[in-house]
């Protein structure tokens, strides 16, 4: 007799799972209920709720292992149903169910936080078993990952704080020693060493702070609001006043649009780009940084131009990667993280940043975002 084992005999039945099926339509409820009980790969008890309100009371009294949520309910339709449900922050995996499989809708549901997506026209005992069992496994992995990220975040916050405080103390005490030694007979070397100590501790503190900013960026979702870039630049300009004065530089601001973006994050973008324009100036040439915009293919392209040292073609790509600095600029203070932060922020807004430059004449950093 040919060896032809059926899958039913190979795959063990899963442990018993409780499923809450949120479905107001009797026929569709029966369809899913029947598929679930017909599957040799599922061992489930199904409870039913016919509205979101009823689902919330069932979950409160006896939380299920998984929820299968129809998007068309008496209170709401489509992804709005999922959004209302997810807003409650219920820590239970959700599979979304809709009248017809629609890839775009499914993709959006997964981006919002659903574990899987099933069209009613594709429900069978197999597809349902697969979806329920895989979703529960995905959920376990997501929960472990979330806990690990939260631990790392706590560690990062503590490390950033605990490293920066002693570095600030070193800097402060070095300054005090320097003041104490003023007008005393101490060799030039000692003054030089104290100065280096102060500069190095400041560099280390900047590096920790920038690294912390960079790491945090990847974890937080952006929150957009309509922002008048002219107003935002005014704010950035006043925060950079000491640096502008120190370099005897000037800012020229052209006409800028209103864009839908995360205001707080774009303060960082402009601070980085403008302060680079001031820092990387040519010796003997006061820096001028011009901020302007133009429209290309219906998109606002923002440019931050300077009359500084410029960037050679071989360096233009790599400076956007973390810790990349151009060798000749090592004398200028910096950690090599600023542009990578700008790139991350702009990409989080579905945008692109690039640089055009001529060595010895200046650079133009350009970007656009998708709103």
Binding stretches for ligand ADP (CB under 6 A): 272, 276-277, 280, 306, 308-309, 311, 319, 324-326, 329, 334-340, 363
Nearer of residues 135 and 363 to ligand ADP, judged by Cβ: 363
Nearer of residues 133 and 212 to ligand ADP, judged by Cβ: 212
Nearer of residues 173 and 323 to ligand ADP, judged by Cβ: 323
Nearer of residues 117 and 280 to ligand ADP, judged by Cβ: 280
Per the listing, tokens 């018993």 go with: 16
Per the listing, tokens 């780009």 go with: 273
CB of 246 to ligand ADP, least distance (A): 15
CB of 250 to ligand ADP, least distance (A): 15
How far is residue 337 from each of residues 192, 213, 359, measured CA to CA in Å? 28, 9, 22
Nearer of residues 114 and 319 to ligand ADP, judged by Cβ: 319
CB of 233 to ligand ADP, least distance (A): 16
User: In the numeric block, which tokens belong to residue 20?
Assistant: 């809450």
Cα angle for residues 34, 39, 45 (degrees, 5° grid): 65
CB of 314 to ligand ADP, least distance (A): 12
User: In the numeric block, which tokens belong to residue 105?
Assistant: 């809708």
Could you tell me where the beta strands, DSSP code E, fall in the chain? Answer: 17-22, 44-49, 66-70, 94-98, 116-119, 225-228, 250-253, 258-261, 288-296, 299-306, 352-358, 362-368
CB of 279 to ligand ADP, least distance (A): 6
CB 42 within 8 Å of CB 17: yes
Q: Would you give the distance in Å from CA 36 to the centre of its chain?
A: 38
CB of 290 to ligand ADP, least distance (A): 12
Which distant-in-sequence residues (6+ apart) come within 8 Å of 49 by Cβ?
A: 20, 21, 22, 55, 57, 58
CB of 87 to ligand ADP, least distance (A): 38
CB of 306 to ligand ADP, least distance (A): 5
Nearer of residues 139 and 320 to ligand ADP, judged by Cβ: 320
CB 346 within 8 Å of CB 352: yes
Nearer of residues 64 and 287 to ligand ADP, judged by Cβ: 287
Nearer of residues 94 and 208 to ligand ADP, judged by Cβ: 208
- Closest by CA to 14, choosing from 46, 47, 39, 51, is 39
Helix, strand, coil distribution of the chain in percent, nearest 5: 50, 20, 30
Q: What DSSP character marks residue 1? A: -
Gap between the Cα atoms of 337 and 320, Å rounded: 8
């Amino acid at each position: 007799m040919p060896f032809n084992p059926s899958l039913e005999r190979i795959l063990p039945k899963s442990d018993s799972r409780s499923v809450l099926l949120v479905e107001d339509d009797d026929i569709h409820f029966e369809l899913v209920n029947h598929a679930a009980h017909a599957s040799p790969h599922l061992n489930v008890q199904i409870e039913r709720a016919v509205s979101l309100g009823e689902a919330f009371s069932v979950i409160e009294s006896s939380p299920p292992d998984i929820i299968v949520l129809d998007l068309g309910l008496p209170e709401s339709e489509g992804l709005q149903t999922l959004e209302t449900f997810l807003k409650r922050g219920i820590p239970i995996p959700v599979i979304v169910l809709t009248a017809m499989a629609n890839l775009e809708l499914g993709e959006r549901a997964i981006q919002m936080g659903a574990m899987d997506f099933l069209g009613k026209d594709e429900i069978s005992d197999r597809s349902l078993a697969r979806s329920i069992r895989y979703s529960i496994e995905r959920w376990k992995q997501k929960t472990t990952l979330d806990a690990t990220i939260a631990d790392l975040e706590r560690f990062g916050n503590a490390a950033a704080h605990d490293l920066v405080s002693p570095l600030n103390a070193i800097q402060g005490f070095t300054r005090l020693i320097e003041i104490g030694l003023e007008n005393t007979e101490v060799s030039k070397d000692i003054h030089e060493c104290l100065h280096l100590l102060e500069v190095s501790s400041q560099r280390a503190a900047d590096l920790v702070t920038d690294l912390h900013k960079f790491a945090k960026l990847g974890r937080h979702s952006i929150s957009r609001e309509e922002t008048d870039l002219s107003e935002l630049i005014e704010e950035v300009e006043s925060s950079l006043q000491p640096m502008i004065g120190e370099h005897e530089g000037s800012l020229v601001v052209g006409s800028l649009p209103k864009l839908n973006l995360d205001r707080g994050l774009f303060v960082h973008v402009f601070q980085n780009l403008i302060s680079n324009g001031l820092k990387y100036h040519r010796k003997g040439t006061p820096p001028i940084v011009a901020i302007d915009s133009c429209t290309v293919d219906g998109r606002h392209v923002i440019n931050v131009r300077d009359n500084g040292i410029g960037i050679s073609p071989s360096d233009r790509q790599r400076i956007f990667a973390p810790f990349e600095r151009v060798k000749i600029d090592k004398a200028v203070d910096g950690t090599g993280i600023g542009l990578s932060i700008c790139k991350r922020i702009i990409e989080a807004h579905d945008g692109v940043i690039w640089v055009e430059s001529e060595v010895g004449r200046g650079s133009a950093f350009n970007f656009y975002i998708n709103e």
